[in-house]
């Protein structure tokens, strides 16, 4: 079951952040996203009432930027990230989003493969983007299907 993230979820989310990321977000970061950021949209994926995965984005009328996606390491490879991406695309498409973007560490093969599977393409590189180890990021984007150019011969 996928549902909106709530403040009561944050202790579990912060635990998952630590398992998923070398520079995890804090509880305060998520509190800001849930309570104050008008562009924030955060969801959790629950199985038997336990949060196993989550996804966040910033969204306005036309654009969405994926800010985070994480899956409990004990439950990877089960399609949970795919389910969250499908949910995110459905919600964004229903709200008229035309362009999606994200940054991903150049070494993060599983995430890059996930994003490519959903039609994201690499369009740029942000040098030394990550503060912890100065790793580069790929900038990846995806246009909504309605927004793609159709070439007519
Ligand atoms: C990346 C991540 C979200 C994938 O979650 P997941 O639930 O295991 O992914 P799914 O089972 O839904 O797989 C979806 C697709 O992701 C890619 N993928 C997932 N695990 C992969 C792996 N170990 N190697 C290569 N590709 C992988 C594949 O394209 C896969 O599609 P396929 O099953 O048709 O091959 C998860 O590994 C994770 O939480 N990583 C740590 C956090 C992170 O790096 N987030 C991304 C930040 S930009």
According to the CATH classification, is domain 2-147 in 3.40.630.30? Answer: yes
Name which residue leads in pLDDT, 145 or 33.
33
- Please tell me the distance from the alpha carbon of residue 144 to that of residue 92, in angstroms, as a whole number: 9
Would you list the DSSP string of the chain?
-EEE--GGGHHHHHHHHHHH-SSPPPHHHHHHHHHT-TTEEEEEEEETTEEEEEEEEEE-SSEEEEEEEEE-GGGTTSSHHHHHHHHHHHHHHHTT--EEEEEEETT-HHHHHHHHHTT-EEEEEETT--TTT---EEEEEEE-GGGS-----
Which tens digits make up the pLDDT trace of 43-64?
999 999 999 999 999 999 999 9
How do the domains of the chain map onto residue ranges?
2-147
CA of 7 to the centre of ligand 1 (A): 26
Residues with CB under 6 A from ligand 1: 20-21, 69-71, 76-82, 104, 108-111, 113-114, 117
Predicted pLDDT of residue 153 = 47
Q: Would the pLDDT of 147 be above 80? A: no
Which tens digits make up the pLDDT trace of 100-133?
999 999 999 999 999 999 999 999 999 999 999 9
Predicted pLDDT of residue 145 = 77
Q: Is 56 within 8 Å of 33 (Cβ atoms)?
A: yes
Nearest CA owner, ligand 1 atom 25: 110
pTM listed for this prediction? 0.94
Active site residue 115: yes
């Amino acid at each position: 079951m996928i549902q909106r993230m709530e403040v009561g979820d944050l202790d579990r989310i912060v635990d998952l952040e630590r398992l998923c990321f070398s520079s995890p977000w804090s509880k305060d970061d998520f509190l800001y996203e849930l309570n104050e950021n008008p562009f924030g949209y955060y969801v959790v994926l629950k199985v038997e009432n336990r949060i196993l995965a989550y996804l966040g984005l910033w969204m306005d009328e036309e654009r969405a930027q994926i800010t985070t996606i994480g899956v409990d390491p004990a439950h990877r490879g089960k399609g949970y990230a795919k389910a969250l991406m499908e949910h995110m695309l459905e919600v964004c498409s229903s709200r008229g989003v035309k362009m999606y973007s994200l940054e991903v560490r150049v070494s993060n093969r599983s995430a890059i493969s996930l994003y490519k599977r959903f039609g994201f393409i690499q369009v740029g590189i942000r040098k030394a983007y990550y503060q912890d180890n100065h790793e580069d990021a790929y900038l990846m984007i995806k246009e909504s299907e309605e927004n793609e150019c159709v070439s007519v011969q």
